[in-house]
Structure 1
């Protein structure tokens, strides 16, 4: 595991050094690329692991085996009682679903998403990182004032199973303070970066007053080839009732939203923030 960490560490060190020359915008791009690469690696492992089981990778959240290895098969090594406390979807039978939009970049895309949500009279749940909240407090306030739910995505998009208990606690607490400073609201849901968690993460989150949230349906909008049509098809091919639909502020996601919302509504399902959906 230690050898695997050196790559991201080296990238992070380079990113910080580059900030002094290029500015925070350039650092944002480096971190966004790093995040996308991490997601691709995790997703590739998911596909390899679950192809033989006939499970769709797009709806398989990532678990960890306690050693920091992201792997859906590791779900069996997580205590079943602990696993039952994680929110992956809402209760079926209510014809409700939630858009869970993870935000660690995309401030250029978010205003367009807000316009679509306003036009379609839709409210969603944004899971924001603390560092993003600190650097975009006005946009975060605009999101909240528009009626959208704001929750925690951790501070720096760190993988919880790769860091110490103290750092996991810091990831949650620093994000809480950033959100409180911006909109005076304390979050109570925590969506760990890349869906990476272990029992320790769950225990720390609960001690701090949070429920851990994953997803049941994934747009996979960060991956190359995820056009607006592909994104829409991925979601409409999955059950909608009670779904937590994971997305990010990406250009093709923005393009997909109007038609995706219309198709979901046509199926008799209503999109609501997570706090409005029974879980």
Structure 2
């Protein structure tokens, strides 16, 4: 009797399971499809990511720009180097990984340094920046012309441009407040010797004294030590260059001369300067009436021609103007 009851109970349980499966049939096909989809996604993701990396690597080869070493040119003498540019493959890959889609706007670039730098070169004068760097620098030599300095500073401030002012040491001694104003407005300060001498005819001792006294008075007045030296009237010899280097300064000349000290017509001066400018040009000026009147137009025209304006340090820097090619 017990065996019969047990068999009946077992039969009833099996029947219930069978009936339940008829009401809610197992979604076998659906479960398999979802499983297949997950497996497929897991399989395709690394394949897609691998393809993404290959796309970045392929494009990187097309966009690599080799760095340019500093060199001594036969005509222009010392020329600074210029950084190269490469695609940072790993950083670009990580940036695009979230979407797994290749996007040139998401590429990350990094600069590569040249092997030869400006300070590796033998002591030489510098007349211009690297011609591949789309920048122009304004050099303003100051030994006189105080009345024109305020309007020049106002124009530079309005144009949001910084210049390099080369101070005569005796001028700084007589005009400390004006020297401080120029420095406080963010302009770079260079050495222009102490008494505006013709250094080509000075002894080593005299030249050393002229440059060192100027550095000392500039440092005492504005708190910065010059790293650039501009010989008065562009007069120098190799000893001048060597002594400047001994004092940790490089010698700066110019590419384009405004000749403003001859008091040319302002419009003519501006036109001559602007048409003479190319990438890497350094423009020589003084605090004169033509410069005070024409500086705004000069800056506007130079920028309209696609050039960036900066200090001597900026144009001599190996850093690229833009991270992207």
Fold conserved (TM > 0.5)?
yes
User: For 1:1-279, what aligned pairs fall within 5 Å after superposition?
Assistant: 85-224=124-263, 226-278=264-316
Deviation by residue 1:206-230 (Cα, 9 ceiling, x = unmatched): 1111101100000000114x11111
Over alpha carbons, which structure has the higher Rg? 2
CA contact 1:160–1:168 (8 Å) conserved in 2: yes
- For these two proteins, the number of residue pairs brought into alignment is 199
> In structure 1, what is the Cα distance between the partners aligned to 2:278 and 2:166?
20
**Cα shift at 1:82:** 5.4
Q: Which of the pair has the greater relative contact order for Cα pairs under 8 Å at 6+ separation?
A: 1
> In structure 2, what is the Cα distance between the partners aligned to 1:212 and 1:155?
15
* 3-state SS of 2:126 partner: coil
* 3-state SS of 1:245 partner: strand
Deviation by residue 1:159-205 (Cα, 9 ceiling, x = unmatched): 11111111100110010011011111000111001111111111111
**Cα shift at 1:271:** 1.0
Runs of 4+ in 1 over 6 A off after TM superposition: none
Could you tell me the TM-score, scaled by structure 2's length? 0.59
Structure 2 segments unaligned to the other structure (5+ residues): 1-74, 77-120, 318-325
**Cα shift at 1:93:** 2.1
Distance 1:159 1:82, change over 3 A: farther
* 3-state SS of 1:277 partner: helix
CA contact 1:240–1:264 (8 Å) conserved in 2: no
> In structure 1, what is the Cα distance between the partners aligned to 2:316 and 2:172?
27
- Equivalent in the alignment of 1:15: none
Deviation by residue 1:20-78 (Cα, 9 ceiling, x = unmatched): xxxxxxxxxxxxxxxxxxxxxxxxxxxxxxxxxxxxxxxx99xxxxxxxxxxxxxxxxx
Could you tell me the TM-score, scaled by structure 1's length? 0.69
CA contact 1:131–1:156 (8 Å) conserved in 2: yes
* 3-state SS of 2:221 partner: helix
CA contact 1:153–1:190 (8 Å) conserved in 2: yes
CA RMSD of aligned residues (A): 1.6
